[in-house]
Chain A
């Protein structure tokens, strides 16, 4: 066990953990965050995604020791129920989910990609979403919500 400072959603949290612990467990158990989720533990599905220094990583296969000095943002860090981030609002407006377990990884993956590539084509958006899974078949609505946000980013 070792104490380290973890900067999450703009706040610094001292945590006392085994440095080899995957970041996901620290976020969901030590810090009680609900955005990142355990889906596979293998980096295959995207449910555990978080933003680190502006990029998306899979927190289920990333040791917390590598996070020293990094800025971590989770789904909670984007917006709130009262004031959702525009991409969160796009998903709410499109009712783009069923069980919603995948939505954390989908929103963060799409946001980071579109913020860096505001003029992305539909094919490029699909390419960017080629590493995240949804099992409920909400894919059509999800793509619609992502495009809705893309229009806002372009504007």
Chain B
């Protein structure tokens, strides 16, 4: 691409930012011929502290950049343009990152323009997911450090200009002044405007203490909301390019069906139809207008083979448990569990079931592809902007450096929805016609073919001593897997890549499981109540030393992938429900029983804070004097250290159960959360509330369904979620502020604890234990009827 073309391809905002960014970026355009490659150059992409050209292992958070100019540019007018590789997904990250830069750089919030997630403009920060994104830019050597480095560089320049030491200078609102002579001051634009800093990020640059914050820590309103509320905001769905056509894909009618033949004549002559595109089992139609593409996709005659025979959903959990060979992993194994269980005064056992669930984004996934010759640009709502560049290149047969991915926000994704797959759809169709093509999936195509959150079967067993305390915890789980995030190398991990001829990442069976070599609780497979000792390191949050957690992954018949709190939610449902069952069995208050087995002071603190805020009445569950009919009320608690190190959360749920027909109404949720220093308290509350209600929906209603050939939960009648007018529980949030330490994730803490909190509250109200999600009225009624 010629320099001028690169400039033409940029949106006005990016161009404006570029112009105000000064010569460093322009130099790249003139010097290298293409801004596009500036972030794939070794020197620039080196992580802070790494020697230029030094090989770095692939990182979930990407290599970032060690050069200040990659992150921040200051215009002659003092305006600040910052560049980030972590994207706004509706979680408030754009605003929080803007606060971060404004704070560390000491400029007003509205002077900062943040450019996000464009592989040609912003540092490679990998994937925006896993509740890792604010931590990545707050804690590590990325955006915040860039702000601090820039501020110190500006102070140095002012020091030279005024001939006074730095400690006699103050930086405030984008102006540096001399403390001993108020007539001497200079704005950032004067000091650095229009010029490159030309320095590396400085690990020693002083970050501000939360006590000094004036912008961080404040409930700054989200930047996008006025535009969204007035219909002005540009989602990926609203991207329109000159000469753009519209594509519609034709997915197989059954899981595993393959193309036998496509009758292009069946749509010949239909208005607006431009082309029928077939690549292996990928089939699509391009037309001039969206409605024409939809009509043509309906009418296109495609012969498909029979699909694979799917496991019977009624017996699915038994099927899951019996798949062999599996990939077996020990998360912990103290090698003494059998002996401890043999010596226990009492053994307690239970099994929990969790279904496949879907992201079910409110807007179906959409992307725009523009492929011309050997160059491609994709406008996408993917979380994985940088990896997608590589896989789009693979799918199209282009070089990665010739592909540009430009993020535009989509409907909330909650993990890997259809954003990646539709990006391939748009790219493939555009390549076939040589013009820009927009694709938005149908509701059915979105729901039938997305990468579902995984189902689980979990067996729990503990041994108790004579005093009722846990002496050994034994956990064994089975979950299915197929595909997932494509990463940089596996476009076949999502449906379009697979249909177009790429295999999903290979399933590697492994039996028996090797002994664990280090402790990691990223999936929360290890319960909070054990020590988590592997070798000499103990990373757990509890006191029980005898522990075994054995995980079996088996091949899935459906695509799977991260769905908000992947595996953590399922495991936590089983752990926290089971802990409640044990407490009830030994007739102990469930909060006291938890505290008896916990060692981590921060986890203890959120449990106590939630209980206190909910006016928790200490007594064993179920509540005394339960009547067997009518409406019964109860409360339950659940807690987690998300991912073993990324956010503490405890929740009290208060529910009402209609015992005559099994309906559960959640009346009140109290959430206590500790995610370290709080950058934006209202944004944090919004995430906790949203996570809680998402959790209520998943707990009470959501389950993917199928018949012998295909997914049958394909719209909002067959996959239920509460309407806005449904009963909304009162939600109270207790935010625990930390003035030091690292920021932790907060987008997935609350959703993780909901199912167990509700199950425990149902038990408290009725004495009936629900061990399978979702808690439908039929299932609850069944458990109520089974009470002895």
Contact = CB atoms under 8 A, between A and B. Distances in A.
Contacts of B230: 75-76, 78-81, 84, 88
Contacts of B412: 98-99, 101, 135-136
B686 A42 contact: no
Interface residues of B, number: 64
A81 B226 contact: yes
Nearest to A74: B231
Given A92-B221, A100-B224, A137 B689 contact: yes
A86 B14 CA distance: 32
A121 interface: no
B676 interface: no
B233 A100 contact: yes
Contacts of A28: 237-238
Interface string B231-262: 11111011010000010000000000000000
B225 A97 contact: yes
B231 A29 contact: no
Nearest to B751: A137
A29 B290 contact: yes
Nearest to A139: B728
A130 B726 contact: yes
A45 to B, nearest CB: 6
Given A18-B292, A45-B716, A99 B227 contact: no
Contacts of B90: 97-100, 136
Interface in A84-113: 84, 88-89, 91-92, 95, 97-104, 106-107
B229 A103 contact: yes
A126 interface: yes
Q: Indicate the member of A32, A41, A95, A100 with the most B CB atoms within 10 Å.
A: A100
B416 to A, nearest CB: 15
A42 to B, nearest CB: 6
B588 to A, nearest CB: 33
Contact of B362 (A84, A99, A129, A140): A99
A9 B717 CA distance: 32
A102 B362 contact: yes
A133 B723 contact: yes
B292 to A, nearest CB: 7
Q: Indicate the member of B222, B292, B694, B724 with the most A CB atoms within 10 Å.
A: B724
A40 B440 contact: no
Given A18-B271, A81-B230, A130-B723, A137 B697 contact: yes
B364 A45 contact: no
Interface in A1-42: 1, 17-18, 20-22, 25, 28-29, 32-35, 37-42
B757 to A, nearest CB: 15
A39 B410 CA distance: 11
Interface string B713-738: 00111000111111111010000000
B715 A44 contact: yes
A91 B229 contact: yes
A128 interface: yes
B121 interface: no
B443 A40 contact: yes
B219 to A, nearest CB: 8
B703 to A, nearest CB: 16
Interface string B194-230: 0000000000000000000000000001101111111
A132 to B, nearest CB: 5
Interface in B355-369: 360-364
Contact of B229 (A32, A84, A133): A84
A138 B723 CA distance: 11
A42 B726 contact: no
A142 interface: yes
A69 interface: no
Contacts of B89: 99
A143 interface: yes
A143 B724 contact: yes
The contact size tier of chain A is 35 or more
B431 to A, nearest CB: 22
Contacts of A129: 723-725
B525 interface: no
Contacts of A102: 362, 724
A150 interface: no
A32 B728 contact: no
A141 interface: yes
Given A81-B232, A98-B91, A131 B362 contact: no
A114 interface: no
Given A39-B362, A39-B363, A98-B412, A92 B292 contact: no
Q: Indicate the member of B232, B271, B723 with the most A CB atoms within 10 Å.
A: B723
Given A127-B725, A130-B726, A136-B412, A38 B237 contact: yes
Given A34-B235, A75-B230, A81-B230, A137 B692 contact: yes
A102 B363 CA distance: 8
Interface in A26-85: 28-29, 32-35, 37-42, 44-45, 47, 74-76, 78-81, 84
Nearest to A48: B363
A132 B723 contact: yes
Given A34-B238, A38-B440, A39-B362, A125 B232 contact: no
Given A21-B291, A37-B237, A129-B724, A81 B227 contact: yes
B543 to A, nearest CB: 34
B126 interface: no
Contacts of A132: 723-725
A128 B729 CA distance: 18
B442 interface: yes
Given A38-B440, A140-B728, A143-B724, A133 B716 contact: yes
A99 B411 contact: yes
Given A128-B725, A132-B723, A40 B715 contact: yes
A84 B232 CA distance: 11
A1 B291 CA distance: 12
Nearest to A40: B443
Interface in B156-201: none
A137 B235 contact: no
Contacts of A74: 231
Nearest to A128: B725
Contacts of A80: 230, 232
B682 interface: yes
Nearest to B682: A95
Nearest to A100: B228
A77 B292 CA distance: 28
B693 interface: yes
B364 A40 contact: yes
A95 B221 contact: yes
A88 B724 contact: no
B691 interface: yes
B606 interface: no
Contacts of B691: 137
A89 to B, nearest CB: 8
A95 B686 contact: yes
B522 interface: no
A89 B92 CA distance: 19
A99 B690 CA distance: 11
B115 interface: no
Q: Indicate the member of B228, B409, B411, B715 with the most A CB atoms within 10 Å.
A: B228
Interface in B257-290: 271, 289-290
A97 B89 CA distance: 12
Contacts of B722: 139
10 contacts: A34-B233, A100-B224, A100-B228, A131-B725, A137-B689, A137-B691, A137-B693, A138-B686, A139-B722, A141-B686
Closest 4 CB pairs of A and B: A137-B693, A99-B90, A35-B231, A75-B231
Given A44-B717, A99-B412, A140-B689, 7 more contacts: A34-B231, A34-B235, A37-B237, A75-B231, A91-B225, A132-B724, A137-B692
Interface of B: 89-92, 221-222, 224-235, 237-238, 240, 246, 271, 289-292, 360-364, 409-412, 414, 440, 442-443, 682, 686-687, 689-694, 696-697, 715-717, 721-729, 731
